Structure 1
Amino acid sequence: MQSPLLAHTAGTGTDRFGLQNPQLLRVVLDGTSEVLARSGAMVAHVGKIAFAGWTPPTGNRRDRRREPDVLDLMRCSGTGTAYLANLAQHLHVLPLNGEKLVVTNTYVLALDASLDWHAVAVENGDRIAGVGSRAVEFSGTGSLVLMTSGRPLVLPVEPGRYVYGDADAVVGWSSGLEVQLQAQTSNTEAWRRRGTATEGWELSFTGQGYVIVQPSELLPPQRVPRG
C-alpha cells in the first residue's frame, strides 16, 4: 500500500523526551529511572514498560480529606519507548536546570521524576476556569512537558511594566513574579465560567520574567464538562 499516511513512522531519537510531532511526545526509558506522566496519556508503547498509579512520598502527602492531589500522575518505568498525548494538544519540552517555573496544573503532560514541585495557591482561582484553585511551582534539574491549545505566546515581564493575561488563557509564568487576580468588570457574570460578552477575569504580572499564554480562552479539552 502506498499512502502519505504510512510515512508517519516512529522517530529514532535517544533523548528522554522528544517530539514525534508537535502533538505527540516520545519518551525513551532505559530501565534506570522513571518518568511521571498525566494519568491516561499513553497512546502507544514499544518494549517492556509498566504504567502504575503514583502517590506522593509519605513525607509530602497532604490530608486528602482537605484537598485533592495537585497533579494526577502515573509512573512510567521499564525499557522501551512510550508515546504520550492528550487530545492532540500542542506539546512543549522545557529543560529545567535550577530554574523555577509556575504552571497551571491542568497543562502538565509529563516530567522527570527527579523534579521537585509544590502547590501554589491562586487567590480566588477556584472560581476561574483556566486557573483552577492551584498552580504548581517546579524546580530542580530535569525536563517538564507542557500542553497548550495551539501555539503559545511568551510575553516578557520587566520591572515597572504590567503584563496582563486572560485567566482562561494563562498557562504558566516565571517563579518570583508578583501575580494578582482581578476582574475587568463589576458585573456578577464575571464569576461564571465564561462571563459575559465583555472580558471577565485576568491575571496581572509584575517583576522580572515571562508569562506563557495559549491562543485559547476555553477550558483545556480534558476538563470540558459533559452535558
Structure 2
Amino acid sequence: MSFFTLDEYVEKTRQVDRGQGLFELETPRMLELNLGGPGLASQAWIKMGTMVGYTGQVKFTREGIMEQGVGNLLKKAVSGEGARLTRAEGVGRVYLADNAKKVTVLKLNGEALFVNGNDVLAFESNIRNEIRMMKKLTGVLAGGLFNVRLEGDGLLAITSHYDPVTLLVEPGRPVYTDPNATVAWSASLQPELKTDVSLKTFFGRGSGDSIQMRFDGSGFVLIQPFEEVYFQAG
C-alpha cells in the first residue's frame, strides 16, 4: 500500500499554471478558465452547475431571459438544465467539471458544430449558440431531444464519457448512431431519426437499439463508449 505525507500529497495534486491561455486542462476531467489575464478575455459561457471552484474576483450571472431571443428561450424551457448557461465574468480562475466526464477543448475558426446539449461545458462569449430541437417525438423517447449549434471564432470545451471516437460520413455511406452515445457532429450534416421497433425489441431480443440517428452526406460524427440518458418520458 502506498501513502503520502500531507506535504507530498499537496505537492502532487496542487494546481499548476501551464500557460495554455483562456482554456486550460487542469486534468483530463477538469477545465480551468483563466479569466481577465494579460491578453485574455474576461468572460465566458459555462454550463450551469459545472463550477466546482474558483479564485479571484469572478461574478456568475445566469443567462438572461431574452439573452438569446424568444426562440431560444422557449427551447431552453423544454430542454431543461442541460442547455442552461451561466456567464462567468471577472479576473480569476474558474474550475469546471461535469460528472467526471472527459474534457476536450476545440478551436473554431469561423466553423460551426452541433453538440449534444448535455455535452457543452464552456465556450468563449463571441461564439454564437442556438438550440435546435429534434423534430420527431422519437427524439424525446431516445433522449436526444435537443442539441446546440455553435459557430464563430474561439474556444469550445465539450465533454464525453471516456475517450470519444470520430466516425467519418461519406456520400452514399450513411452512419447510424445511438442518440444517447452521440456527442457532436459537423454542421454540414442534418441527422434523421430512424426507428426500428419490432416485437423482438419489446421482448428484449432486438438486434439493435430501436431508435437511431442517421447521418448522410459529408462530415463527421463524434460518439462516446457510453449511453447517457438525458431525458426520460413519463
Looking at structure 1, the residues matched to 68 and 186 of structure 2 have their Cα atoms a distance apart, in angstroms, of 27
The equivalences for 1:28-107 within 5 A come to 28-30=34-36, 32-55=41-64, 57=66, 60-62=69-71, 68=77, 71-107=83-119
Please, what TM-score do these two structures have when normalized by structure 2? 0.82
Looking at structure 1, the residues matched to 68 and 232 of structure 2 have their Cα atoms a distance apart, in angstroms, of 33
- Contact 1:42/1:84, CA 8 A, preserved across alignment: yes
* Worse-matched range after superposition: 142-151 or 32-41: 32-41
2:171 equivalent to 1:159: yes
Counterpart residue identity of residue 9, structure 1:
R
The structure with more helix, counted as a fraction of residues = 2
**Structure 2 stretches lacking a partner, 5+ long:** 1-5
Q: CA 1:86–1:174 in 2, change beyond 3 Å: closer, same or farther?
A: same
Q: CA 1:158–1:66 in 2, change beyond 3 Å: closer, same or farther?
A: closer
Specify which of 212, 219, 230 is matched with residue 202 of structure 1: 212
Q: CA deviation at 1:33?
A: 3.2
- Contact 1:14/1:28, CA 8 A, preserved across alignment: no
* Worse-matched range after superposition: 46-55 or 206-215: 46-55
Q: CA deviation at 1:188?
A: 9.7
The equivalences for 1:105-116 within 5 A come to 105-116=117-128
Please, what TM-score do these two structures have when normalized by structure 1? 0.85
Once the two structures are superposed, residues 102-154 of structure 1 have per-residue CA deviations (whole angstroms, 9 ceiling, x without a partner) of: 1111111111111012122323212212x12x211110111111111111111
SS in structure 1 of the partner of residue 71 of structure 2: coil
2:14 equivalent to 1:9: yes
- Contact 2:44/2:87, CA 8 A, preserved across alignment: yes
Looking at structure 2, the residues matched to 107 and 66 of structure 1 have their Cα atoms a distance apart, in angstroms, of 17
- Quote the residue 1:213 is aligned against: 223
**Structure 1 stretches lacking a partner, 5+ long:** none
2:189 equivalent to 1:177: yes
Once the two structures are superposed, residues 71-99 of structure 1 have per-residue CA deviations (whole angstroms, 9 ceiling, x without a partner) of: 20111011111100011111111111111
Once the two structures are superposed, residues 42-81 of structure 1 have per-residue CA deviations (whole angstroms, 9 ceiling, x without a partner) of: 1111211111211265572338568617520111011111
Give the percent of matched residue pairs that are identical in Structure 1 and Structure 2: 28
- Contact 1:48/1:78, CA 8 A, preserved across alignment: yes
Q: CA 1:56–1:35 in 2, change beyond 3 Å: closer, same or farther?
A: farther
- Contact 2:167/2:221, CA 8 A, preserved across alignment: yes
Looking at structure 2, the residues matched to 123 and 197 of structure 1 have their Cα atoms a distance apart, in angstroms, of 28
Looking at structure 2, the residues matched to 6 and 176 of structure 1 have their Cα atoms a distance apart, in angstroms, of 46
Bigger Rg over Cα: 2
- Contact 2:58/2:92, CA 8 A, preserved across alignment: yes
